Amino acid sequence: MNNKNGFVAQVNACVERAASLMSFVPGILSQIRHCDCIYQVTFPTRRDDGSVEVVHGWRAEHSHHRLPTKGGLRYSMMVDADEVMALAALMTYKCAIVDVPFGGAKGGLKIAAYKYSADELERITRRFTFELVRKNLIGPGVDVPAPDYGTGPREMAWILDTYNTLHSGELEALACVTGKPVTQGGIRGRTEATGRGVYLGIREFCDDIELLKQAGLSPGVSGKRMVVQGLGNVGSHTARFCQEAGAVIVGIAEYDAAIVSPDGIDVEAAHAYFRANETLSGFPGAETITDSAACLELDCDFLIPAALEAQIHADNAARINAKVVVEAANGPVTTEAEDILRSRGITLLPDVFMNAGGVVVSYFEWIKNISHVRFGRLGRRLEQQTQTRLLRAMRQGGGHFTDEEIARLSVGGDEAALVSSGLEDTMITAYGEIREQQRQYDVDLRTAAYITALAKIHRAYSELGIFP
């Protein structure tokens, strides 16, 4: 996309569409739309062969109406100031929709991670962390990074260790970053959180009789034909959860090739094949398509772009053959493409809600780090004992429970179960709020989601008392 139709402009177009239906205290809408601050850094790094390379990076904090700010850190050659500011804005609206008390932020380094060794990536990550610390752009109550495209728990552990080195003895240092390994203060369920959140959003839609009828679909996830673009963290987990619920994954696309099978593709097998071969090409039991973008145009019920932004645009939107497009990635459908899809009766489930699962569980991890207590540790045994006594009392009253059944049913919630339950409740509640706004304003789901977000952020700014 060029500057005229850049990513920030795309996000702001969504904001303007929603804001045109609302009333605001003077000045607040302008404040909401603009990025509060962005920091650009350039630093040298030494490659393993002794050569020196210059790395460019950015960190944007979109909104300080809630602190800390929160957002992922991505390593990609597509990273620039426009992308980082747009993604930070999306994080602000995303956090508001799911009632996570963070402002939005985002960061990135303009590197292709696969071209670097682990040692090189460690040096780059630690240097970037040092630069963020110098500018006070990282900290448990300031700005909290998380994994994104090209990064994962390993990079978050390096960030934590570097921050600890520079802030020796800080009690809440673990909360300076989320998405860490569990052994380093991470939380169970974070890795699959975004994909699980996407699945939960799909499940809620598949239980919504009114919208399903408009889309020409029957209730339930089971039997739905789905195409997934991107087999990274988000795409692979989304596909797996949907397949476990009975969906048929008829197509999977990656950067160099796509595979198609009308009878369905085993997601776990495809993921294992991709990890082993670094390509989906030649996956047994499926047809290989060398033009991976063509996979977006396959006939299906649900098309799930889970890669990068602007994958569905004005040039290919007219050829999309899905009944529903699910934005698992950030900004995969441009505003021009969205208008075309809507005119063709294709339903769009918006990114600003659908992929919020990651930040929800990051919030749980941040709470865990701040409180220094693992979820389930205080109440699990009490809950289990209470359930056991209840079942035994029911057995004495005539209920037919064996000791084995009582032991199986009397299970207190551990960390993974509590995280999953909390995420499910959050996504269900947020979907209900978006649907209320959709009915009230008679708009599409994306506009309804932005109305939901803007109303909450507007209220927060109003309560700060800094506007007339």
Q: What is the pLDDT of residue 381?
A: 58
Q: What is the pLDDT of residue 129?
A: 97
Q: What is the pLDDT of residue 2?
A: 36
Q: Comparing 93-107, 217-231, 305-319, 392-406, which segment has the lowest mean pLDDT?
A: 392-406
Domain 36-184 class, CATH top level: alpha beta
User: What pairing do the DSSP bridges indicate for beta strands 258-260 and 287-289?
Assistant: antiparallel
Beta strands in 92-198 (DSSP E): 103-109, 143-147
pLDDT in tens, 339-369: 999 999 999 999 999 999 999 999 999 999 9
**Which positions are catalytic?**
106
pLDDT in tens, 300-326: 999 999 998 889 999 999 999 999 999
Same CATH topology for 36-184 and 187-376+413-446: the answer is yes
Higher pLDDT, 462 or 134: 134
- CA dist 301 and 324 (Å) reads 6
Q: CATH classification of 187-376+413-446 is 3.40.50.720, yes or no?
A: yes
What is the pTM for the complete model shown?
A: 0.89
Structure tokens at 241: 């959860």
Q: Find the helix or strand (DSSP H, E) in which 41 lies.
A: strand 37-46
Return the exposure string of 245-279: e unless at least 16 CB atoms fall within 10 Å of the residue's CB, then b: bebbbbbbbbbebbbbbeebbbbeebbebbeeeee
Q: What is the pLDDT of residue 173?
A: 94
**294 contact partners, CB below 8 Å, separation of at least 6:** 258
Tell me the mean pLDDT in the region 274-296. 92
Residue 5 has pLDDT above 90, yes or no: no
Average pLDDT, the chain: 91
- CA dist 449 and 353 (Å) reads 7
Give the rounded percent of residues in the chain with a pLDDT score beyond 70: 91
Q: What is the pLDDT of residue 393?
A: 72
CA torsion, ordered 98, 462, 33, 427, to nearest 10 deg: 10
The label of the residue with tokens 């991709």 reads 274
What are the structural domain ranges in the chain?
36-184, 187-376+413-446
Q: What is the pLDDT of residue 28?
A: 85
